[in-house]
Amino acid sequence: MLTPGSTLGGRYQLTERIASGGMGDVWKAEDGVLGRVVAVKVLLPALLEEPGFVERFRDEARTMATINHPGVVKVYDFGESDLPGGGKASFLVMEYVESEPLNQVLSRVGRLTPPRAMDLIAQGADALQAAHEKGIIHRDVKPGNLLIRPNGTLVLTDFGISRSGAGSNLTAVGSTLGTAAYMSPEQASGQVAGPLSDVYSLGIVAYQAVAGHRPFENENPLAVAMMHIRDTPPPIPADVPAPIRQFIEVSMAKDAATRWPSASAMAHAARTVGAGGPMPPPPGRPGYQSSPMPPATTRTSVMPPVVPPVIPPGNTGELRQGGYPKGTAPVPVSGPPRPQAYYPPEPPKKGKGLIVAMIAGGVVLLLLLAGIAYAVARGGANNKNKKNPVTVTTSEAVPPPAPRTSAAAVKVDIPCEELKGKQFEVADKRLRELGLKVNVNPVESDTVKEGRVVDVPCEANKGDAVTVQVSKGGNTFPTGFPTFPGGSTSPSPKPPKSPTATPTTHTNGVSQ
């Protein structure tokens, strides 16, 4: 049994146990060779009995040690040591980080100012990009694994359940692949996690940082995992700038293909909106807009639907402003070179755009006149006495048709008054029996107990998604929060108690 004073590998003298987790204990230790303080993770003896686990752990440690980035905790050494009472101990030696985990920061201050939150998210995305470039997927990105140094910089730690591109997996058989509250839909549905799974998890962290609470909360981790798959998150507070809300929407997209295509692109977008700039279109999807954004300019409305536009979608004036405002530049991040980040193209000169529009309009007008002349001539030649009118299709822009309402829509009467005050599980079951989908919106209530229904619509069409307002307790919160390095926090309600999906201990800046 290890105790303070024990030495591993003839070099690392343990001084105090600072964290415990599912894969082992983390100790603060003195490196007798280099004379520095380190963190030593000692694997649980049960893990050593799994065939091939030690070899996989050693290979993964070697891969992680190649990551040279200030935002990723450094791996120094890996070894095995005989224990005084018999048996062996396998251990991993890492950088000891003097810091405060982000989850403790959020518990203390409630929520961060949007610019400060975006700064931390950008740093976290930079760190993830460094890992992804080495083929390592973190798979457990959460506030507890984002350490904030006293100078405000962020360090990503605890790759305990990471997976490398080579296929090695540090997760013991049967252990949880991530924390339910931050798990991506693909992880929750049993699919293999990829780089965009980490992007989603970091998007959940961004939501929590600006909203003061997680988007999906339930005492049952399985229920939370299902929410990631099927439910729409509650709206982010209106005092958060729209570009930042839209940035988080993209980060938390259910379909991985519609998220930021890389952690690097996510970092660039976070810095753009954090600096007050508009939301840049995600790379690979020109002209991206989320529903809260105003419609694109109508300068191409003169073009007929059948004529391809001269200017590619997304090159409108509003969306081109997705670059940095004048006088603003991205925050430089040290470390190894990164793939080229996405920068929206420069807008064309107005004079050139006007000439193109005039030429296109002239072509359309000629086609229109030619079509009318041909139709009239043909109608007269065939039969002057025919009373059938000649139909001429013009190239005038036609507004899109209104959404069609299915004639087979079945109206459902919801027993709303009966469901108010009921446990959410009861209401959820009843609504699904009526053929409805259910979204949850946690709200504060001084009159309805936590976990019970505050309000629910009284009617809907079968198959519709209805939003159930569920009480998260009374509004007995402080009027303000202390400041945090990099900016003061906005007054906001204290976040509700977070469910503990996986027991985790954080001490002295090391998480497990």
* Ranges of each domain in the chain: 7-96, 100-289, 411-471
In the annotation, is 140 catalytic?
A: yes
Sign of the alpha-carbon dihedral angle for 254, 258, 260, 262: positive
Q: Residue 512 and residue 18: Cα distance in Å, rounded? A: 10
**Per-residue pLDDT tens over the stretch 477-509:** 333 333 333 333 333 444 444 444 444 444 444
Q: What is the DSSP string of 135-173?
A: TEE-----GGGEEE-TTS-EEE---TT-EETT--B-SPT
* 7-96 CATH choice from 3.30.200.20, 3.90.76.10, 3.40.50.1980, 1.10.10.10: 3.30.200.20
For residue 143, what pLDDT is reported?
95
| β 437-443/465-471 pair status | parallel
Q: Residue 80 and residue 89: Cα distance in Å, rounded? A: 5
pTM of this prediction?
0.55
State the Cα angle at 236 between 489 and 124, rounded to 5°: 65
- Give residue 273's identity as a one-letter amino acid code: V
Report the CATH fold assignment for 411-471.
Trypsin Inhibitor V; Chain A (3.30.10)
Q: What is the DSSP string of 52-87?
A: THHHHHHHHHHHHHT---TTB--EEEEEEEE-TTSS
**Per-residue pLDDT tens over the stretch 192-228:** 899 999 999 999 999 999 999 999 999 898 899 999 9
Query: By C-alpha distance, which of 458, 466, 448 is closest to 418?
Result: 458
| Tokens standing for residue 275 | 């600096």
Q: Residue 147 and residue 87: Cα distance in Å, rounded? A: 34
| Tokens standing for residue 365 | 């007008």
Active-site choice (77, 140, 158, 231): 140
Give me the phi and psi of 206, to 5 degrees please.
-60, -45
Each residue's pLDDT, cut to its tens digit, for the chain (512 residues) gives 789 999 999 999 999 998 877 678 889 999 999 999 999 999 888 777 777 888 877 877 887 888 999 999 999 999 999 887 778 889 999 999 999 999 999 999 999 999 999 999 999 999 999 999 999 999 889 999 999 999 999 999 887 555 554 444 444 333 445 689 999 999 998 888 999 999 999 999 999 999 999 999 998 988 999 999 999 999 999 999 999 999 999 999 999 999 999 999 999 999 999 999 999 887 555 554 443 333 333 233 333 333 333 333 433 333 223 333 333 333 333 333 333 333 333 444 444 444 545 555 555 555 555 555 554 445 444 444 444 333 333 333 334 444 444 445 788 899 999 999 998 878 887 887 888 888 777 778 888 887 788 999 999 988 888 888 888 766 443 333 333 333 333 334 444 444 444 444 444 444 44
**Per-residue pLDDT tens over the stretch 390-410:** 333 333 333 444 444 444 578
Report the CATH fold assignment for 100-289.
Transferase(Phosphotransferase); domain 1 (1.10.510)
Helical axes 195-211 vs 102-109, angle rounded to 10°: 20
Q: Residue 241 and residue 49: Cα distance in Å, rounded? A: 52
CA-based Rg of the chain, rounded to a whole angstrom?
29
In 407-485, where does DSSP find H-type helix? Answer: 416-419, 424-433
Number of helices (H), then strands (E), in the chain = 13, 18
